[in-house]
Amino acid sequence: MSKLDKTLDAVGTGVNRLQIGCWILFGNLFLAAFCLWGVYAGYTSWRLQNEGVTTTGTVIQMEESNSSEGGCCVYSPVVEFTVNGQTYSFDGGNASDPPAYRVGEVVSVIYDPSDPSTAQINKWTERWLFPIIIIPAMIFTAAILNFFMIRAWRRGEYIGE
C-alpha cells in the first residue's frame, strides 16, 4: 500500500468518525428536546397539582387532526371555563379515536390561579400520560443510539454503506 493510499484511508476514517460524531450529537440533541418537552409537561402538571385551583369546564369543540399513522382522524377536546367573569379555553393534551369526550360534556379543570390560561383537564391521563411515556422513551432511545453509534465509531465502521 502506497503512502498516498494510506493517507487517503486515514482521511476517510477521520471523515467517517466525524460523520458518526455528528450523528451522535444531533441525534442526542433531538432526543433531548423531546425529553425536555416531557419534563416541561410534567413540571406544569406537578405545579398545577400543588398550586392549581379546580373548577368545571365544558367541551365546546372536538379539534380534528390526522393520526400519527397518516390516517384520518384523531380528536382532542377544546375546553372552555370561566374564572372571575373571564372566559378561557384550551386544547386537551391527548387526542384519540374514538373521541374521549363529547361536545357539551362537563369536565373538571385545574388551572393556575395566577395565570388561568395555563389549564388542563383534571384527569390523570390528561395530565401525566405524556410525560410518563415520552421521558423514558427518549432516554431509552438515546441509550440505544449511543450504544450502537459509539460502537461503530470505535470500530471505524462506515455508516450508510
Residue extents of the structural domains in the chain: 3-155
- CA distances for 82 relative to 94, 114, 133, angstroms: 22, 14, 31
Mean pLDDT split into 10-residue runs, the chain, 161 residues: 75 76 90 95 94 94 73 85 93 83 94 93 90 94 91 75 55
What pTM was estimated for this model as a whole? 0.75
How many CB atoms sit inside 10 A of residue 144's CB? 10
Minimal CA–CA distance to 110: which of 52, 24, 37? 52
Give the ranges where the chain is alpha helix by DSSP (H).
3-51, 124-155
Whether the ω angle into residue 98 lies within 30 degrees of 0, i.e. cis, is yes
